[in-house]
């Protein structure tokens, strides 16, 4: 009986990681690497020509946060299953990843043991996240979200801008990278400031910088 081969597309901004993931995935009889990219733009160009079965993507890309790629692929190619493989902490990103349209999340430190299982799981349309995240999602569905980190209440766009503020990116550069007007970025900053209950832009910058230091590699 012929084995059904799942076509996998890899998106990561580090060539060595793309190659390593490609070797691991390509060693399996039922999995085939059909392409790879280091940026959202390159990935979308290739996926448009030949959509894969599964997209494996990092959250940190050359031209932005991978959440935007996930949302775009979900909208344009709803048949593509998506899995995030990232060095970012699962408890800070997994829920956003799932809301954006991906079905799973694997930390890069656990790639060797979990990646292949995760790909096969999401390929069937099932979710692949830790028990901790699943329990949190259940609690939220039951209305138990009162103790959540205020940062988790930011919208995805606000969260992107918050991260960039924490990385020291100026308003003008945020606007250019996200294809927004500076006025729109300022509006988002004000919403973020109120949601996080910080007094001014200077305090917001320090709040965001501390969050990035504490939660990102």
Q: Which residues touch 47 (CB under 8 Å, ≥6 apart)?
A: 9, 35, 55, 73, 77, 80
Tokens standing for residue 10:
């890899």
How far is it, in rounded angstroms, from Cα 69 to Cα 73?
A: 6
Residue 182 pLDDT? 93
Q: What is the CATH number for 187?
A: 1.10.10.10
Alpha-carbon distance of 128 to 106, in angstroms, equals: 8
| Tens digits of residue pLDDT in 27-77 | 999 999 999 999 999 999 999 999 999 999 998 887 777 888 999 999 999
Q: Write the CATH number for 71.
A: 3.40.50.2300
Closest among 87, 88, 81 to 102, alpha carbons compared: 81
Same domain, 51 and 102: yes
Q: Give the pLDDT score at 144.
A: 58
d(CA 92, CA 154): 12
Angle (CA) 102-164-10 rounded to 5° is: 35
Q: Which helix (H) or strand (E) holds 126?
A: none
Query: 144 lies in a domain?
Result: no
What DSSP designation does 57 have?
E
Residue 1 lies in a domain: no
Q: What is the pLDDT, as a whole number, of residue 145?
A: 55
pLDDT of residue 130: 77
Q: Domain limits at 209? A: 150-215
For 111, counting Cβ atoms within 10 Å of its Cβ (0-12 exposed, 13-18 middle, 19+ buried), the class is middle
pLDDT digits (tens, 9 = 90+) for 124-178: 999 998 777 777 766 665 665 555 678 888 888 898 899 899 999 999 999 988 8
Give me the long-range contacts of 201-205 (CB less than 8 A, separation at least 24). 204/165, 205/165, 205/166
Give, for 145, the enclosing helix (H) or strand (E).
none
pTM for the full model?
0.79
The answer for 168, left when phi > 0, alpha when psi is -120 to 50, beta otherwise, is: left
Check whether residue 85 and residue 182 sit in a common domain. Answer: no
């Amino acid at each position: 009986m012929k084995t059904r081969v799942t076509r996998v597309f890899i998106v990561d901004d580090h060539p060595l990681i793309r190659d390593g993931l490609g070797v691991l995935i390509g060693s399996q009889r039922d999995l085939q690497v059909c392409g790879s990219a280091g940026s959202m733009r390159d990935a979308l160009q290739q996926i448009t020509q030949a959509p894969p079965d599964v997209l494996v993507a990092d959250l940190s890309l050359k031209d932005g946060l991978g959440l935007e790629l996930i949302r775009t692929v979900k909208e344009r190619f709803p048949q593509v299953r998506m899995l995030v493989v990232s060095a970012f902490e699962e408890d800070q990103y997994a829920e956003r990843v799932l809301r954006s349209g991906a079905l799973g999340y694997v930390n890069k430190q656990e790639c060797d043991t979990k990646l292949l299982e995760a790909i096969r799981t999401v390929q069937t349309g099932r979710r692949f996240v830790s028990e901790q995240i699943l329990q949190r999602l259940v609690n939220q569905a039951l209305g138990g979200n009162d103790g959540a980190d205020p940062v988790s209440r930011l919208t995805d766009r606000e969260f992107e801008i918050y991260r960039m503020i924490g990385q020291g990116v100026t308003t003008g550069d945020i606007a250019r990278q996200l294809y927004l007007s500076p006025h729109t970025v300022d509006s988002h900053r004000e919403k973020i400031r109120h949601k996080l209950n910080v007094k001014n832009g200077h305090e917001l910058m320090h709040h965001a910088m501390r969050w990035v230091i504490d939660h990102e590699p």
